[in-house]
Amino acid sequence: MPKNVRYSLGPLGRLLIIIGVIILLPILVGLYYSEWWYRGNICYLGYIIPSILAIGIGSILEWKFEVKELNLVQGLFLTGFAWIVISLFCSLPFIMIQDMTILNAYFEAVSGFTTTGITMITNLDPLPHSLLFFRALIQWIGGLGIITFFIYIGMKGISEHILYRGESHKIKSSRPVPNLMKTIKYYWLIYGGFTAALIILLWLQGTTLFDAISHGFTTLSTGGFSPHNESISYFGMHPEQFPNYKLIEYTITIFMILGGTNFVIHYRVLRGKIRNLWNNIEMKMWWGILGLSTFLIMFEVYQTGAFESLESLFRKTIFQVTSVATTTGFETEWIGPVQSGYFKALAKQIFLMLMVIGGCVSSTGGGIKVRRVGIMLKGIWNRVKRSSRPKEMMTPLMIDGEKVGRTELERVFIIFVSWVFLLLIGGFITAIFSNYGPLQSFSGMFSALGNIGPSYLTVSEMASLNPIVKILYTFAMLIGRLEILPIFILLNLEVWKT
């Protein structure tokens, strides 16, 4: 057996054991709500059987294949392979409980773990609470990364630096502390603390505890799965039941921003270094993107007069801008076709731009990342300046007082060009295998690759897509979340042979 495959199977076995235990957690929710049957299926078997399979196969792999130190290629291979295999096991509850097809169930699991939030389920409200909890749980685990989560709870000492590098953003960025394990610990403590705070706030504001937990998990992970068909607009549609619905929307907006912001910034701010909120290029651009996008869309909607009050105009606009920019994907107003709905042509274009840019590095947000966009813009401007100056006056590209080397700059532009190429291919393939127009066709790939969720296709339209398009979007979600390289490594036959 080739080394790259053999060395990956031992760590993969341990990952499967851990995920097998996690799959059992929704049973506790099902017991609380006394959910025994759904569509003639025994709900608990939908978790017990996948758990037994994952733990059994994982135990065999860990026992049979020795765990060794991995090199970079093997780490990237394991990262991509693990995300694909773990999503397969986590698709089984959707098949066994919801009677979903294999492709739709796998799509749902990948969408959850990658925090994309595109769903193949057209009617969420009747689902068992246990399955709705499971959807939220896998998004929360995927928020900071499956591998990062497993390193934190049970993979210490197994080439953690290589695995972290394989899953984390492929861009040079700082850490809270030099030690990797402490960095991961601080990330998860901050992540868990913010999640707990949001759950408590939503519960105090009048949501059910289940809704608070579900939205707490999927807000900080910037995943966007909701237990309701209407997403966050569900609360505003029932003001008699949720009189604080406006406060709920503002609260979720704030915590979406927290999820999409660099966790290194959170660490520094929590230690009293408030200036980090605005004293670097990424944060300046982040606030600028959110502010300018909100202003432009508010101006456009104001011209149409399609708003109840200035407060509602501000609340709905900043919620949707934040939801798209952080790639969370919640909705209080549908971002659908130009000719109808709350948001018009300019807003549609801005939303597409936000889908591509995404959140900050070292956040739970998807997209290309704000810092990369900043590096590209400064790189282009630096090149323009150098072309008009004598050679002796040429200066290197500097970001926040640090020199950006040529290798780093090339990597950023390669990522960007790859994204553009994949977006074009995805849009073309969607158009070939559907009857949708160019804006809808491209928006689906924007949504999948950017891990955003909402697009200009409805849930029913997304669920009825050609299987070829669904397979394409599944890989796009993985490529977007793992930032291209691990999936491309898996597609390289030479890697499988050595």
Secondary structure class of 44 (helix, strand, coil): coil
319 and 413 assigned to the same domain: no
* Spatial CA neighbour of 79 closest among 474, 485, 418: 485
Residue 103 lies in a domain: no
Residue 75 lies in a domain: no
Q: What pLDDT is stored for residue 394 in this prediction?
A: 60
296 and 202 assigned to the same domain: yes
Residue 10 lies in a domain: no
pTM of the model as a whole: 0.93
Q: Is the pLDDT of residue 57 over 90?
A: yes
Paired residues of 38 in beta bridges: 41
Residue 35 lies in a domain: no
327 and 441 assigned to the same domain: no
- The domain containing residue 359 runs over which residues? 180-367
Residue 224 lies in a domain: yes
Q: Is the pLDDT of residue 172 over 70?
A: no
DSSP single-letter state for residue 41: E
Mean of pLDDT values over 281-285: 94
Q: What pLDDT is stored for residue 182 in this prediction?
A: 84
User: Confidence class of residue 337 from pLDDT cuts 50, 70 and 90?
Assistant: low
Q: For 58-115, how does the pLDDT look when each residue is reduced to its tens digit (9 = 90+)?
A: 999 989 987 777 888 888 888 899 999 999 999 999 999 999 999 999 999 999 999 9
Residue 79, token pair as written in the block? 């990262």
**What angle (nearest 5°) sits at the alpha carbon of residue 265, between those of residues 263 and 269?**
120
223 and 284 assigned to the same domain: yes
Residue 436 lies in a domain: yes
Q: For 189-242, how does the pLDDT look when each residue is reduced to its tens digit (9 = 90+)?
A: 999 999 999 999 999 999 999 999 999 999 999 999 999 999 999 999 999 999
Residue 260 lies in a domain: yes
Rounded to 5, what percent of the chain is helix, strand, coil?
A: 65, 0, 30
Q: Is the pLDDT of residue 449 over 90?
A: yes
327 and 451 assigned to the same domain: no
Unique residue bearing structure tokens 């409805």: 458
Residue 124, token pair as written in the block? 């969420």
288 and 345 assigned to the same domain: yes
Question: CA distances (Å), 384 to each of 389, 391, 394, in order?
Answer: 9, 13, 11
- Overall domain count for the chain: 2
Cβ neighbors of 218 (< 8 A, separation 6 or more) are 117, 136, 139, 140, 224, 225, 226, 328
Q: What pLDDT is stored for residue 166 in this prediction?
A: 62
**Cβ atoms within 10 Å, residue 172:** 16
| Contact assessment for residue 118 and residue 447, using Cβ atoms and an 8 Å cutoff | yes
User: Confidence class of residue 498 from pLDDT cuts 50, 70 and 90?
Assistant: confident
Q: What pLDDT is stored for residue 476 in this prediction?
A: 95
Cα first-last separation, the chain: 9
Q: Is the pLDDT of residue 174 over 70?
A: no
Q: Is the pLDDT of residue 379 over 60?
A: yes
Residue 44 lies in a domain: no
Residues 357, 293: Cα–Cα separation, whole Å: 12
Q: Is the pLDDT of residue 135 over 60?
A: yes
In DSSP notation, 116-134 reads ----S-S--TTS-HHHHHH
213 and 350 assigned to the same domain: yes
Q: Is the pLDDT of residue 155 over 60?
A: no
Q: Which of 209-223, 239-253, 337-351 has the lowest mean pLDDT?
A: 337-351
Q: Is the pLDDT of residue 260 over 90?
A: yes
Domain boundary among 335, 367, 399: 367
Q: Is the pLDDT of residue 169 over 80?
A: no
447 and 340 assigned to the same domain: no
Domain boundary among 367, 399, 434: 367
Q: What pLDDT is stored for residue 137 in this prediction?
A: 97
Residues 137, 43: Cα–Cα separation, whole Å: 17
Average pLDDT, the chain: 89
321 and 417 assigned to the same domain: no
DSSP single-letter state for residue 393: G
Q: What pLDDT is stored for residue 167 in this prediction?
A: 64
Mean of pLDDT values over 456-467: 91
316 and 228 assigned to the same domain: yes
Query: Which tops the pLDDT comparison, 286 or 185?
Result: 286
342 and 431 assigned to the same domain: no
CA atoms within 13 A on the CB side of 6: 9
Paired residues of 41 in beta bridges: 38
Q: In this structure, which amino acid lies at residue 144? A: L
User: Confidence class of residue 341 from pLDDT cuts 50, 70 and 90?
Assistant: confident
User: Confidence class of residue 392 from pLDDT cuts 50, 70 and 90?
Assistant: low
Residues 380, 79: Cα–Cα separation, whole Å: 33
Q: For 399-441, how does the pLDDT look when each residue is reduced to its tens digit (9 = 90+)?
A: 877 787 888 888 888 889 999 999 999 999 999 998 888 888 9
Q: What pLDDT is stored for residue 157 in this prediction?
A: 57
**Cβ atoms within 10 Å, residue 244:** 16
Residue 391, token pair as written in the block? 């050679």
Paired residues of 37 in beta bridges: 42
Q: Is the pLDDT of residue 376 over 80?
A: yes
Domain boundary among 315, 349, 367: 367
Q: What pLDDT is stored for residue 67 in this prediction?
A: 73
Q: What pLDDT is stored for residue 153 in this prediction?
A: 65
Q: What pLDDT is stored for residue 402 in this prediction?
A: 79
Total number of residues shown for the chain: 498
* Spatial CA neighbour of 293 closest among 324, 257, 333: 324
User: Confidence class of residue 266 from pLDDT cuts 50, 70 and 90?
Assistant: very high
Mean of pLDDT values over 366-387: 86
Residues 387, 309: Cα–Cα separation, whole Å: 51
Q: What pLDDT is stored for residue 2 in this prediction?
A: 80
Mean of pLDDT values over 122-136: 95
203 and 286 assigned to the same domain: yes
Q: What pLDDT is stored for residue 175 in this prediction?
A: 67
Secondary structure class of 68 (helix, strand, coil): coil
